[in-house]
């Protein structure tokens, strides 16, 4: 059995994969370039650092991220265990204290005797054992170049954008109110900053006119729909933000007793609630412009910005074209990929992909037939997307119901949306349990 695995990158995917492989008895070598070489977004040397929002998406069991969590918990996910241990109020979302979360994962991995850590940038796979590349959206240039050569892909870059964070004490309590949308999720976690129609219109004018950072001319600018900068959304129509990140539905301003015209939601960054991020406010406005324009939001008139939004690149391969069913490269079968580099999008999905890669590596190392989870599970639907969706239109994808085929489930095609989703979520966990049970019982 091939039992040595080199993992390049100790992010969400690499950390989860390292834990799963170590648990299965593999000799794991983790190679992380931070702190010797930092990315444009990471700020610490910790494993599984969350570079932007502190949310691992919905806990609702009738949502694709909720379903994915239930499956990952069954396998025993390190990332989710740490997230649960260090969660902060976030309504329906699993939000965490980012520092404690990644410190927990780092300590757990470092305490495992069969994991060895190395610091420094790696520029190509290892000749011995198997290699798992989990270098993420900010893969170093040299590693990206190796990948481009190995896959024949030329366009490995596009942009994502990150949201600003404000100091809690600088938010005007008189001009904002605490509430979760539709009152869901227990303790009120969000600070809502309402806007009247005229304030909103002036804000849109300023956003559209605001000075933006120019894209680099050698890179193509392609925004993933789920992570569009607000000014790009505003450019699609004056009301687009009111139907997107500034939607007021499910919120009533207690001062007026009415639904506001538009709302900016602020979510706590830590348990002590000393800082809040502007939900969905990714932007590529210049820093000075951000401060000027975001202060037009009445509750943020005197806001102190602890972090500004920014643009960043994302590196990923065309999964269906270059990956085998076990997530190894068609051109280099001893090299596996996991995380955002495969074309999944999001912290949760990247961790899930790391777990998936670890399971498939175990199957390969044991000489077993490759058996990914079936597509009528959340993890299986992600696997199907990254290995066999339409290569021509391949774009990063997060866990969502569009990845499921109703025909993969029993009696779901005839149901309406909510009923179908509920039925799919119930069946998916049963399907996953069955698959995981047979997987655990396969002879070594
Ligand atoms: C700026 C930014 C903001 C984002 N915001 C969000 C968000 O709010 N919510 C969300 O769900 N997702 C977000 N994402 C997307 C994505 O889910 C996260 O980046 C996630 O961390 C991806 O997990 P990963 O394991 O694939 O990569 P990462 O977590 O980035 O881990 C990759 C690791 O590899 C290391 N590395 C890179 N190259 C090398 C090399 N050559 N040798 C050794 N080590 C190397 C890096 O230092 C890093 O530690 C964001 C992405 C970016 C870039």
pLDDT tens-digit readout, 215-236: 544 344 545 545 678 998 999 9
Is 31 close to ligand 1, i.e. is its CB under 6 Å away? yes
Return d(Cα 419, Cα 412) in angstroms, integer: 8
In the reported structure, the alpha carbon of residue 339 is separated from the centroid of ligand 1 by a whole-number distance in angstroms of: 8
Mutate to test the pocket of ligand 1, among 20, 125, 138 (most ligand atoms within 8 A of CB): 138
Domains and CATH numbers, the chain: 4-156+316-441 (3.50.50.60), 161-313 (2.40.30.260)
In the reported structure, the alpha carbon of residue 217 is separated from the centroid of ligand 1 by a whole-number distance in angstroms of: 23
In tens, the pLDDT along 11-37 reads 999 999 999 999 999 999 999 999 999
Return d(Cα 266, Cα 275) in angstroms, integer: 9
Is 122 close to ligand 1, i.e. is its CB under 6 Å away? yes
Poorest-pLDDT segment among 39-43, 126-130, 260-264, 365-369: 39-43
Please report, rounded to a whole number, the percentage of residues in the chain having pLDDT higher than 90. 73
Is the predicted pLDDT of residue 293 greater than 80, yes or no?
yes
3-state secondary structure at position 357: helix
In the reported structure, the alpha carbon of residue 295 is separated from the centroid of ligand 1 by a whole-number distance in angstroms of: 30
Return d(Cα 108, Cα 309) in angstroms, integer: 31
> Residue 226's pLDDT is what?
55
Is the predicted pLDDT of residue 82 greater than 50, yes or no?
yes
In the reported structure, the alpha carbon of residue 137 is separated from the centroid of ligand 1 by a whole-number distance in angstroms of: 5
Is 347 close to ligand 1, i.e. is its CB under 6 Å away? yes
Residue found under tokens 């800082």 = 275
> Residue 275's pLDDT is what?
80
Residue 55 to residues 92, 181, 247, 369, Cα–Cα distance (Å): 10, 16, 19, 36
Nearest CA to ligand 1 atom 31: 11
In the reported structure, the alpha carbon of residue 138 is separated from the centroid of ligand 1 by a whole-number distance in angstroms of: 6
Is the predicted pLDDT of residue 376 greater than 70, yes or no?
yes
Exposed, middle or buried: residue 302 (CB in 10 Å: 0-12, 13-18, 19+)? Answer: exposed
Cβ distance 173 to 80 under 8 Å? no
Cα dihedral 41, 329, 385, 321 in deg (nearest 10): 110
> Residue 222's pLDDT is what?
46
Is 45 close to ligand 1, i.e. is its CB under 6 Å away? no
Return d(Cα 239, Cα 251) in angstroms, integer: 18
Q: Mean of the pLDDT values across residues 318-344? A: 95
- Structure pTM? 0.81
Q: Which atom of ligand 1 lies at the shortest distance from residue 314's CA?
A: 53
Is 51 close to ligand 1, i.e. is its CB under 6 Å away? yes
Is 246 close to ligand 1, i.e. is its CB under 6 Å away? no
In tens, the pLDDT along 145-200 reads 999 999 986 656 555 566 888 988 899 999 999 999 999 888 888 999 999 999 99
Cβ distance 11 to 49 under 8 Å? yes
Is 52 close to ligand 1, i.e. is its CB under 6 Å away? yes
- Please, which residues have CB within 8 angstroms of residue 406's CB and are 6 or more apart in sequence? 412, 413, 420, 424
Helices (H), 255-402: 287-294, 319-322, 347-365, 378-388
In the reported structure, the alpha carbon of residue 136 is separated from the centroid of ligand 1 by a whole-number distance in angstroms of: 4
> Residue 157's pLDDT is what?
54
Exposed, middle or buried: residue 155 (CB in 10 Å: 0-12, 13-18, 19+)? Answer: exposed
Exposed, middle or buried: residue 272 (CB in 10 Å: 0-12, 13-18, 19+)? Answer: exposed
Mutate to test the pocket of ligand 1, among 8, 109, 134, 136 (most ligand atoms within 8 A of CB): 136
Is the predicted pLDDT of residue 282 greater than 70, yes or no?
yes
Is 303 close to ligand 1, i.e. is its CB under 6 Å away? no
Residue 214 to residues 211, 222, 284, 416, Cα–Cα distance (Å): 9, 14, 9, 45
Is 137 close to ligand 1, i.e. is its CB under 6 Å away? yes
Is 164 close to ligand 1, i.e. is its CB under 6 Å away? no
77 has which bridge partners?
none
3-state secondary structure at position 160: strand
Cβ distance 171 to 191 under 8 Å? yes
Cβ distance 68 to 352 under 8 Å? yes
* Residue count of the chain: 444
């Amino acid at each position: 059995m091939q039992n040595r695995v080199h993992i390049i990158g100790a992010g969400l995917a690499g950390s989860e994969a390292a834990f799963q492989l170590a648990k299965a008895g593999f000799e794991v070598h983790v190679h992380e370039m931070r702190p010797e070489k930092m990315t444009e977004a990471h700020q610490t040397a910790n494993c599984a650092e969350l570079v932007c929002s502190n949310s691992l998406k919905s806990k609702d069991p009738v949502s694709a991220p909720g379903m994915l969590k239930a499956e990952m918990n069954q396998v025993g996910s390190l990332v989710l265990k740490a997230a649960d241990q260090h969660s902060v109020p976030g309504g329906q979302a699993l939000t965490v204290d980012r520092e404690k979360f990644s410190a927990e994962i780092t300590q757990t991995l470092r305490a495992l005797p069969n994991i060895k850590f190395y610091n420094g940038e790696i520029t190509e796979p290892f000749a011995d054992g198997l290699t798992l590349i989990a270098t993420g959206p900010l893969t170093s240039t040299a590693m990206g170049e190796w990948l481009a050569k190995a896959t024949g892909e030329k366009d490995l870059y596009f942009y994502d954008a990150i949201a600003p964070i404000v100091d809690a004490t600088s938010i005007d309590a008189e001009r904002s109110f605490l509430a979760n949308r539709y009152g869901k999720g227990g303790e009120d976690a969000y600070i809502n900053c309402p806007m009247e129609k005229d304030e909103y219109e002036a804000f849109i004018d300023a956003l559209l006119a605001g000075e933006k950072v120019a894209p680099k001319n050698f890179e193509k600018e392609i925004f993933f729909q789920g992570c569009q900068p607000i000014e790009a959304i505003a450019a699609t129509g004056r009301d687009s933000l009111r139907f997107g990140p500034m939607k007021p539905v499910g919120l009533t301003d207690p001062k007026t007793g009415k639904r506001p015209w538009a709302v900016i939601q602020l979510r706590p960054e830590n348990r002590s609630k000393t800082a809040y991020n502007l939900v969905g406010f990714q932007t590529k406005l210049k820093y000075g412009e951000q401060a000027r324009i975001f202060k037009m939001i009445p509750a943020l008139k005197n806001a102190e910005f602890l972090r500004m939004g920014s643009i960043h690149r994302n590196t990923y391969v065309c999964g269906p074209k270059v990956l085998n069913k076990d997530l190894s490269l068609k051109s280099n079968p001893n090299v596996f990929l996991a995380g955002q580099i495969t074309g999944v999008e999001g912290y949760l999905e990247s961790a899930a992909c790391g777990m998936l890669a670890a399971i498939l590596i175990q199957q390969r190392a044991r000489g077993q037939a490759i058996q990914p989870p079936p597509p009528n599970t959340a993890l299986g639907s992600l696997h199907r997307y990254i290995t066999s969706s339409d290569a021509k239109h391949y774009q990063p994808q997060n866990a969502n119901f569009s990845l499921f085929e109703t025909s993969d489930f029993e009696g779901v095609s005839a149901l309406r949306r909510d009923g179908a989703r509920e039925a799919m979520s119930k069946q998916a966990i049963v399907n996953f349990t069955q698959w995981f049970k047979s997987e655990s019982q396969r002879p070594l």
